[in-house]
Amino acid sequence: MTDNGYISLNGSLINSDEASVSPLNRGMMYGDGCFETLKSYNGRFLKWEEHFDRLKEGLAYLGMHSPIDSAELKKEVSDLLGTNNLSSEESMVRIQFWREGRRGYKSSSSKTFRMIQVNSYTRSSEPLDLLTAKTRCIPSEALERKYKLTNGLNYIKAAQEADRHQKDDAVMLTVNGLVSETTIANLFWMKDGIIHTPSEECDLLPGITRGSIISILQERGINIQIGKFEPKSIYEAEAAFCTNSLIEIREIRAVDDIQFKTGQKPFEEILELYEKYKQEELRK
């Protein structure tokens, strides 16, 4: 349920208190679906087409039909933002698809249902304290990692570990013990003038903001190493940050018992580069 008054359900604007779906839906029973989360910047969207393409490809991976094109979906989102009086502020947008059908893992249906939720969103700049979770990432050989699939129980378990230790989020490792991501974001860290970030071979979700940051750094000749790293690499870092479409770039203050100095010049320069990039993209 959204904090605001309306959601969009299969293209219809409905008061959230009156909205209903079948209790036998496969999204609830099996997590049989996918989603996208992005930010509305006063009614404009950063990398909309990339979000839509990932959503469409995720549906195809699951064998589901995409019933709506990019322009139609964007209009549904824009209409919902307007109905909830959120067209003139930064807001969170969540687009969820799930498969038609009933009980049982086997389903031949490719038909989907969809729901869009929006909320007012205020981005925090407070640095994060992270815990390295015992819960590991699902290998891409078991489940494709390119898409935001609805079933996220391993992320939930890792987030519970972090919460029990009063941490903001969890660093997740691959089953082979390599640094992968957090439960909600991609990781970067700095050491001796080099930016490090795990490769897609490390079972991470390759975030759209992550891709933008990598491109920005490479275009400006900033040394970035994309590879496979053991946890000691991030423990030995001088600074660290994480990224996703909502938080954009957020500094990390600590991982486990390792403290990082925050507010350093290289990090501030990356913030400035991204802000300039973002404003240019939103003007297009």
Instruction: Between 110 and 54, name the one with better pLDDT.
Output: 54
Average pLDDT over residues 129-146: 96
> What confidence tens digit (pLDDT) does each residue in 161-181 have?
999 999 999 999 999 999 999
Q: What is the DSSP string of 138-199?
A: PPTTTS-SSS-BS--HHHHHHHHHHHHTT-SEEEEE-TTS-EEEESSSEEEEEETTEEEEE-
Q: Is the pLDDT of residue 247 over 50?
A: yes
* 128-282 is a CATH 3.50.50.60 domain: no
Return the amino acid letter for 98. Answer: W
6-120 to CATH, choices 3.30.470.10, 3.90.1150.10, 1.10.15.40, 3.30.750.24: 3.30.470.10
C-alpha–C-alpha distance, residues 260 and 253, integer Å = 5
Can you say whether the dihedral through the CA atoms of 233, 236, 238, 244 is positive or negative?
positive
pLDDT band at 4 (very low <50, low <70, confident <90, very high): low
Q: Is the pLDDT of residue 38 over 50?
A: yes
Q: Where are the domains of the chain?
A: 6-120, 128-282
Q: Is the pLDDT of residue 238 over 50?
A: yes
Average pLDDT over residues 48-52: 98
Q: Is the pLDDT of residue 250 over 60?
A: yes
Lowest-pLDDT range, 26-30, 90-94, 228-232? 26-30
- In whole numbers, what is the pLDDT of the chain averaged over residues? 94
Report the predicted TM-score, pTM, of the whole model to 2 decimal places. Answer: 0.94
Q: Is the pLDDT of residue 14 over 70?
A: yes
pLDDT band at 214 (very low <50, low <70, confident <90, very high): very high
Q: Is the pLDDT of residue 139 over 60?
A: yes
